[in-house]
Structure 1
Amino acid sequence: MNDDKDWQERLAAAGLVVKKGGADPTGFVPPVVAGQMVSCPPGDGRSEAWVDIEDRLLHEKANADWYRLSVEGGLFPESDPSFFIGLAPEEEGPGQWIRVELQTSWDIMGKGASGLLGSAHGRPEFLALSCDGTVLCCGTTSQFSIGTVVVTSPDHSEVLRRFARYVATSEIGHPDERTAARRWLDSNPAHTWNQ
């Protein structure tokens, strides 16, 4: 990201502060692959919650659902609300995971969605990953609702593995994304649960 101060300010509007050090996301599911998580079936450890766009308490309910599913699904414990947020590439660069901490005052699905985490206030489009790489979470917008989707054990998902194989062997995207997809597959080989 070209202007660190700018995107850090935009994350702060959502109630997120960049947290230096700690977990290294190398070897975790790359953002380019994680973006396919909404295609995962319920059998892949998927849970979700949706709020109608016409609901007068839209962003309050969506924020509450995001927090509840994030804690219940294991994105972070209430005692340490740290996780990775996926930042979109600039000028064809690779997606990246940035470690953040949720502050006491936050608005991920409302104000946050008007910054780096979506297309407009109340229109989220973002990815998050637990610090141990075992839980994916996203805020997303459909035609009539906004929602939160959580997928546990992304390395068990055939949908994500199939897409990672495609990314790793194709000429699409950034070369670093192909390398990251191959690294993730190699460090999480298919097991009997996948056959």
Structure 2
Amino acid sequence: MGLKESLAAAGLLVLEECGDLGGLVPPLVTGQAPSCPPEEGRTESLLDMDDPLLLEKANANWYRLSVAAGLFTEADRRFVVAVTPEPDGPSRWVCVELRDPWDIMGRGASDLLGSGYCRPEFRMLSLDGSTLSCGTTWETAISTFVLKSPHCSKTLRAFADWVATGEIGHPAESAAARRWLDSH
């Protein structure tokens, strides 16, 4: 399944243009968001994997947290999602619009947005870069969380500093990390 088809299964329409995304926190850097403590602005909702209403609650929590934090609005449901289109290639942001019906945690997590049905592993960012929305899977629970003002996160900035050294990631990701750090 291709990128557009995979995201469409989650209810996300890939858009050709969303403006300049060059100044956003690099997707690789946002991979450290689960390590951000609540003091850095992280708000989380945990659900036990054995919950009989896991899918419904997980999708509802993602939507509620994302709208409240400003990932998108009811009127404008555009944002970017992190993808790595090629193995060993750089991760990048893809502009999408949430369409009805949608299923981020079920069909979405079964492919590009996770490791299986109700096993999310995704990072989404508002178009202005001010809100990060993530899903991750723990041992017995799944987490949906948001991080306001990712540029203020000491955890993300420290990781970006390491990425910028070129020791990890793709060279394009190192350059993007340096640009992001220098711009904030």
TM-score normalised per structure 2: 0.97
Q: Distance in 1 between matches of 2:54 and 2:84?
A: 25
SS in 1 for 2:109: helix
Structure 2 runs not aligned, ≥5 long? none
> Which residue does the alignment assign to 1:13?
9
Q: Please give the per-residue CA displacement for 1:11-34, whole angstroms capped at 9, x wherever unaligned.
A: 100000001212221011000101
Q: Distance in 1 between matches of 2:160 and 2:47?
A: 30
State the identity %.
57
TM-score normalised per structure 1: 0.92
Deviation of 1:171 after TM superposition, in Å, equals 2.2
**C-alpha contact 1:49 1:147 (8 A) present in aligned 2:** yes
1:91 aligns with 2:93: no
1:141 aligns with 2:150: no
**C-alpha contact 2:79 2:97 (8 A) present in aligned 1:** yes
1:72 aligns with 2:68: yes
The size of the alignment, in residue pairs, is 184
**C-alpha contact 2:45 2:61 (8 A) present in aligned 1:** yes
> Which residue does the alignment assign to 1:33?
29
Root mean square deviation, CA, Å: 1.0
Deviation of 1:89 after TM superposition, in Å, equals 4.8
> Which residue does the alignment assign to 1:167?
163
Q: Distance in 1 between matches of 2:22 and 2:90?
A: 13
Structure 1 runs not aligned, ≥5 long? 189-195
